[in-house]
Amino acid sequence: MKKRFKIRRWSLRVRIFLSMILVTLVASLLITGVSIYQFKKEAKDYHQDRVDRKEKAIKEHINYVLATTTYPLSTENLPLIFRERIHELANIHGLEINVYDLNGDLLKSSKAAFSVDTISQKIAPPILRVIRATAEKRYVDLLTTEKGKRYRSSYSYIKDTKFKPLGILNLPYIEDDGYYEREINNFMMRFFQVYSFMLLISIIIAYFLSSYITKSLKSIGDRITEIRLSRVNEKINEPHLPHEINQLVRSYNRLVDDLDESAAKLAQSEREQAWREMAKQVAHEIKNPLTPMRLTVQSFQMRFNPDDPNIKQKLNEYSATLIQQIDTMTSVASAFSSFASLPAQQNETINMVKVVQLALEIFNESYITFSSDEEEIITRMDRTQLIRIITNVVKNATQAISEDHPDPLVEVKVYREGNSVKIDVKDNGKGISVENKDRIFEPKFTTKTSGMGLGLGIIKNIIENYKGTIIFVSELGVGTTFTVEFPIINPDSKEEQTEV
C-alpha cells in the first residue's frame, strides 16, 4: 500500500517518462527472448533434419552393400558383411555406426576394438518394443552425455532385398551447437549495442515527449491556480493543441466565463445588500429624531396658551428641541451622502505640515497639540480630503476622552519617513477593546451613542485611494494612536502649483 501511495504522488510527467522507458525495456526483453527461442528452435530442427538425412544416406549405402555382397543375407552374416565396410561407411558419412541383431545384441561397431566396450552392448527392451510397434520401424532417442552434451540416437531396421528385417541400425549423433551458440553470442552483442543506443534515444524522446504533453497541462494548472473571483481572469488562446487537451482548454474557458458572470452577479448582489442595509440604517437613524419631534409638537399643541406669560420661553424651548432633532437628521443625511459618493479628487501641490495645522484650527479644545520635525513636506493630493481625514481622526480622539478626565491630551505630529509622510494622532482616552479592534473601520460600526459609524470607513477609502495606509495601536485605559501614512508624490513642474 505504501508503494502504491508513493506512485500516486508522482507527477504526470514522471509517470509518462517512466512508462515509456518501461515499454522500451519490456519490448527489448521480449525481442531478446523471442530471438533466443528462435535460434534454439532452428538448431533443433537443423539437427533433426541432419539426422534424417544422414540416416537415409547410410541406409541407402547399406542397401547397396547388401545387394552386392557374396554372403547370404542373414542376421548371423551381418558381422561378416560389414567387417570391413562399416569403417568405410563411418568415414564416408562422418558418423558412428552400430549394428545390432533383432534381439538388441551388438554385432558390429565402427569404433575401434579398444573402445567398443564403451558402447551399450544391448538395446534397452523399451526401445525394442517401440521399434517393433511403430509403423516406420524407427525410433530416435534424445540423450545427454556425462559432459552435458546432448545427442540423438537413431534406431531403425536393416532389411534385405525382400524387406525382411536382418538387424537394427544404430546411429549416435552428437548435436554440435557451437555454431548456433556463436550466433547467439554475436546477436546478443550486436543487440546490446543497438539496444543501448535505442535506450538512450528512448530516454531523450521520452523526456521531451513527457515535457511536451505536460507543458499544456501545467499551463492550464497554473491558470487555474491564478483564478480569483475578485478580478478578471484571462482565457487560454492556444489553437494548436492535441484534441484531448483542447477539450480541457475549452472547459477552462467556459469556467472563466461562468466565473466572471457569477462574480458580476455576486458583486451586484453584494451592492444591493449593502444598500439595503444602509437604507435600513438611515431609516432607523431618521426615525429616531422623528419620535421626539412628534411628541414635542403634540405636547406644545395640547398646552399652547397665548395668554401664558411664559409663552415666549416655551416657544424657544420648543424651537430648540425641533432644531436639535433636525440637525441630527441633517447629519445623518450628510454622512450617508458622503459615504455613498465621495467627491472627485482635486490634486494639488500642498505643504502637508501647514494643511494639517490649518485643519486643527477648527477645534476649540486647548489640549490638542501639534508638532512637526520640518516646516515643509511637499506632496500632491486633495487638500479638502486631507483636512477631512485630520478632522475625523482628531474628532474621534477628542470623543474618546471622557469629560471628567483630569489631564486630557491629543497630540498630532507630522514627520517624514523615507519616501512617505506620516501623521500620528495620539490620545490618552479610554482606548479600544480587543473585540472591537477588527471592526473599527467597518461601515455602521460605532461605540458612541450617536452617529452612524461611517467616518472611519470613509477616510479609510480616501487614504487607500492615495495608496496610503491607516493603522492604530490601542490599550484600554491608556489611549489610542492612529497613524496615517501617504507616499510622497513629487509635484510636476509643468503643472500649476498652489501654495498653502
Cα angle 61, 63, 64; round to 5: 65
Percent of the chain whose pLDDT exceeds 90:
9
For range 99-128, the mean pLDDT: 74
pLDDT at 486: 92
Q: Provide DSSP, 160-179.
A: -TT--EEEEEEEEEE---HH
Residue 450: band (very low, low, confident or very high) from pLDDT cuts 50, 70, 90: very low
Residue 414: band (very low, low, confident or very high) from pLDDT cuts 50, 70, 90: very high
β-strand 150-159 against 165-174: which pairing, if any? antiparallel
Q: Provide DSSP, 305-365.
A: -TT-TTHHHHHHHHHHHHHHHHHHHHHHHHHHHHHH-PPPP--EEEEHHHHHHHHGGG---
Mean pLDDT score across all residues of the chain: 77
C-alpha span between 118 and 106 (Å, rounded):
12
Per-residue pLDDT at 381 exceeds 70: yes
Q: 329 near 289, Cβ under 8 Å?
A: yes
> Residue 441: CB partners within 8 Å, gap ≥ 6?
456, 457, 460, 470
Residue in 258, 213, 255, 212 with CA at minimum distance from that of residue 236: 255
Per-residue pLDDT at 350 exceeds 80: yes
Residue in 371, 351, 350, 349 with CA at minimum distance from that of residue 360: 371
For range 156-162, the mean pLDDT: 84
Residue-wise pLDDT tens digits, 257-287 = 777 777 777 767 766 676 676 666 666 666 6
For the domain made up of 348-487, the CATH class stated in words is: alpha beta
Sign of CA dihedral 49, 50, 56, 60: positive
Of 459 and 118, the structure prediction assigns the larger pLDDT to 459
β-strand 378-381 against 410-417: which pairing, if any? unpaired
pLDDT at 496: 41
Residue in 386, 487, 388, 393 with CA at minimum distance from that of residue 440: 393
Q: Provide DSSP, 195-261.
A: HHHHHHHHHHHHHHHHHHHHHHHHHHHHHHHT--TTSPPPPP---SS-HHHHHHHHHHHHHHHHHHH
Q: 152 near 197, Cβ under 8 Å?
A: no
Q: 391 near 359, Cβ under 8 Å?
A: yes
Percent of the chain whose pLDDT exceeds 70:
74
Per-residue pLDDT at 344 exceeds 70: no
pTM: 0.37
Domain extent listing, the chain: 10-181, 243-340, 348-487
pLDDT at 482: 92
C-alpha span between 377 and 395 (Å, rounded):
24
The grid coordinates listed for 389 are 481625514
Per-residue pLDDT at 240 exceeds 80: no
C-alpha span between 389 and 33 (Å, rounded):
87
pLDDT at 58: 84
Q: 454 near 338, Cβ under 8 Å?
A: yes
Residue 449: band (very low, low, confident or very high) from pLDDT cuts 50, 70, 90: very low
> Residue 160: CB partners within 8 Å, gap ≥ 6?
66, 73, 166
Residue 424: band (very low, low, confident or very high) from pLDDT cuts 50, 70, 90: very high
Residue in 415, 338, 427 with CA at minimum distance from that of residue 384: 338
> What is the CATH number that goes with domain 10-181?
3.30.450.20
Do 10-181 and 348-487 fold alike per CATH?
A: no
- For 120, 168, 459, the CA distances from 139, given in Å and listed in that order, are 16, 11, 112
Contacts of 261-270 spanning 24+ positions with Cβ under 8 A: 262/229, 263/229, 263/230, 266/229
Give the strands of the sheet with 420-427, arranged side by side.
368-372, 410-417, 420-427, 479-487, 469-475
